[in-house]
Amino acid sequence: MNKFWIILSHTYMTRLKAKTFIITTLITLLFIFGIANIQPIIEFFSNDEADRVAIIDRSEQLFDPFKASVEQASEDVELELFSGTEQEAEKAVEEEEFKAYVTLDLNDNQLPKATYYAKTISESKMQSILEQQLQQLKIAMATQQAGIDEQKLNIIYEQVSFEKVALDESAKTDEELNQARGIVYIMLFLLYMSVMMYGQMIATDVATEKSSRVMEILISSASPVSHMFAKIAGIALLGLTQVAVFIIAGYGLILTKKDELVGGIFEIFGLQDTSLSVYFYAVLFFVLGYLLYATLAAMLGSLVSRVEDAQQLTMPIIFLIMIAFLIAMFGISMPASKFITITSFIPFFTPMVMFLRVGMLDIPVWEIGLSIGILVATIVLLGVLGARVYKGGVLMYGASNSLKDFKKALSLSKKE
């Protein structure tokens, strides 16, 4: 047992001091800081002045109502009546006196039409504002020409009343679903990135130790099985350390900026009123998902002698994680479908898909318990198989023949 803890601490401290770990952690902390301060950052780089647009009104009647409509819709666009020629307006745009210029006129039906001129037409926001408000002006003028009462027209365009009522009293409301959807998005992404990163780390660690012949020294002082589970636990502890740093940093920023975050991105992602049970299941499925894929990664990593081979042999793990992530993304829009229900009990998909169902639906406890039971049983089974493969695999050197080396590793483990 002492040797287990020695290997665990060695794995943990070696990775903790690694430059890649420190740089990755610092970059993520900067990203968290940037998200928490996104509004001040945007305001710092944005120009407070409104974009000036010159208007050449050939109809001599559209400018005033168009200007009033645009000013009501946005404060970022300022319209000015231009009395010069189009050539003079074009020159003013080229000299950046105006952002653009627009010619207004009436078509054959005496309804407004416009042409927009600018250096480039890549900035669609301002163009969209001008087009939408000109459309509103066209509707108002067409209504007046047709003799339709404006009040009746407002009734026609009024948003239809469409209420959603769940007959099942235990079902979540639309507001609760929106809140859950945000936290599920975040947790799925974190689970996907963490499992992929730390699983790959275990496989490459084992391959690196074998390629440098360090493995021969390690297995002479401790059993390969102890070495395997110590490495899995060490990387898990490293991951928890990194996640803890992110949580502490995020929580600190939340405390200092809680007044700014309330009602903004903090509320959009459902971090205000989410049930504590969602966070509990997030941690539970995160740990179980890590153990499942980490055991696979350690087992496959023991079959190769070079880091390059480790990356190739762990491709099935990456594909499984990607498939689970894509299924979960699909399930966010329809979490109650049979496909999502069935795949939530497949152990390689359970950490993401069952967590999705827990976050989005009110499902029976026995379903959650059954999926966790299947997942734990699969982890134990992979642990037993992985220990045998690892025991023989760490003694194998030379070129890897992919998954065919399983049989050779198992036969070597029986001889030990």
pLDDT of residue 342: 92
* Distance of alpha carbon 135 from the chain centroid: 36
Q: Is the pLDDT of residue 225 over 80?
A: no
Least confident of 8-17, 70-79, 92-101: 8-17
Least confident of 146-150, 256-260, 289-293, 354-358: 256-260
Q: Is the pLDDT of residue 99 over 70?
A: yes
| pLDDT band of 375, cuts 50, 70, 90 | very high
Most confident residue range from 72-76, 157-161, 255-259, 262-266: 72-76
Strand order in the sheet with 77-81: 77-81, 51-57, 100-106, 112-118
Task: Give span(s): CATH 3.40.190.10, the chain.
Answer: 48-157
- Which CA distances in Å does 134 have to 123, 260, 287? 18, 35, 56
Q: Is the pLDDT of residue 271 over 70?
A: no
Residues 306-331: tens digit of each pLDDT:
666 667 777 888 888 889 888 888 88
pLDDT of residue 174: 62
Q: Which CATH superfamily, name and number, covers 48-157?
A: Periplasmic binding protein-like II (3.40.190.10)
Q: Output the six-digit token pair for 85.
A: 């020629």
- The amino acid at 303: L
- 3-class DSSP state of 211: helix
β-bridge mates for residue 116, sequence order: 102
What would the mean pLDDT of 129-156 be, rounded to a whole number? 81
Q: Is the pLDDT of residue 176 over 80?
A: no
Half-sphere CA count of 352, side-chain side, radius 13 A: 29
Q: Is the pLDDT of residue 267 over 60?
A: no
- 3-class DSSP state of 54: strand
Residues 121-131: tens digit of each pLDDT:
777 788 888 88
The mean pLDDT value of the chain amounts to 77
The percent of residues in the chain predicted with pLDDT above 70, rounded, is 72
- Which CA distances in Å does 317 have to 63, 114, 225, 235? 63, 56, 21, 17
| Residue 364 DSSP class | -
- Which CA distances in Å does 82 have to 101, 104, 127, 131? 9, 11, 18, 19
pLDDT of residue 72: 85
Q: Please, is 66 exposed, middle or buried when counting C-beta atoms within 10 Å of its C-beta (0-12, 13-18, 19+)? A: buried
| pLDDT band of 407, cuts 50, 70, 90 | low
Q: Is the pLDDT of residue 266 over 90?
A: no
Q: Does residue 279 or residue 213 have the better pLDDT?
A: 279
Are 362 and 170 within 8 A, CB to CB? yes
| pLDDT band of 221, cuts 50, 70, 90 | low
Q: Is the pLDDT of residue 167 over 70?
A: no
Are 104 and 114 within 8 A, CB to CB? yes
Residues 382-394: tens digit of each pLDDT:
887 777 776 666 5
Least confident of 108-117, 218-227, 280-289: 218-227
What would the mean pLDDT of 176-186 be, rounded to a whole number? 69
Residues 12-67: tens digit of each pLDDT:
787 788 787 888 888 888 887 877 776 677 666 665 677 888 898 888 888 888 88
Q: Is the pLDDT of residue 268 over 80?
A: no
Q: Does residue 203 or residue 379 have the better pLDDT?
A: 379
Sign of the four-CA dihedral 259, 263, 264, 266: positive
Q: Output the six-digit token pair for 321.
A: 């994680």
List the one residue out of 192, 195, 183, 175 whose CA is nearest residue 332. Answer: 183
Least confident of 50-54, 137-141, 226-230: 226-230
- Which CA distances in Å does 198 have to 72, 168, 317? 52, 41, 12
pLDDT of residue 374: 94
